[in-house]
Chains A and B, each alone.
Chain A
Amino acid sequence: DAKTTQPTSMDCAEGRAANLPCNHSTISGNEYVYWYRQIHSQGPQYIIHGLKNNETNEMASLIITEDRKSSTLILPHATLRDTAVYYCIVRVAGKAGTALIFGKGTTLSVSS
């Protein structure tokens, strides 16, 4: 699976949008981009995933560049409860055995 590069940490003011970048310059055509987050002392939580098109759900938006070499996770109105480690993962489609491989992620700190 392609590797990802994320900033180690980011800060965001409560109520503002949090934009978390991820570089995946070696991504292949059949690899999806996934985002998970892990709040302290909990297991990772699925946020969103996409292949080519931008995606939005009740938690966040995912913006994927046209060349698919980078993406941005957007939390539109960050709250203190969004403080967590955010993982960007690329994963091959369809094949059994292609489990999620986690890197170190970005630690997002939301403050009031």
Chain B
Amino acid sequence: EAGVAQSPRYKIIEKRQSVAFWCNPISGHATLYWYQQILGQGPKLLIQFQNNGVVDDSQLPKDRFSAERLKGVDSTLKIQPAKLEDSAVYLCASSLEPGPNYGYTFGSGTRLTVV
């Protein structure tokens, strides 16, 4: 099966600019996650979708970050305006269902550098 697709692979922007990342999960996967991974740390959950609804966005900095999954398939994560501390890899993952017997499949991520 095709994996989780993410684009772009790399992005460099200046602080205060805006940026958007795209994720296409594995076909049929109802649950989609966005994680932020700062260098040297483990991935940190930003938001979880179940189909096109938000299940958990408690760790999403809503003053500058937004995410949507309008048709319950692909998803977009946006940052506006970006700060230097947003430099990180943004990982998208999907699973068939949110339950414990379903592992996650991760994409390769988008590496964001804010200068």
- Interfacial residues, chain A to chain B (CB-CB below 8 A): 32, 34, 36, 41-46, 49, 51, 85, 87, 91-105
Query: In the complex where A43-B107, A43-B109, A49-B100 touch, is A97 in contact with B42 (Cβ < 8 A)?
Result: no
A102 to B33 alpha-carbon distance, docked (Å): 13
Report the separation of the CA atoms of residues A82 and B110 in the bound assembly, to the nearest whole angstrom: 23
Which residue from A44, A46, A94 sits with its C-beta under 8 Å from B99?
A: A94
If the complex has contacts A43-B91, A43-B93, are A99 and B109 also in contact, measured as CB distance less than 8 A?
no
Q: Report the number of A-B residue pairs with Cβ-Cβ less than 8 Å.
A: 62
* B72 on the A face (CB < 8 A): no
* In contact, A101 and B45 (Cβ under 8 angstroms): yes
Hey, which bits of chain B sit against chain A, CB under 8 A?
4, 33, 35, 41-45, 48, 50, 55-56, 91, 93, 98-101, 103-109
The residue in chain A whose Cβ has the minimal distance to the Cβ of B48 is A99
**Closest B-chain residue to A102, C-beta based?**
B42
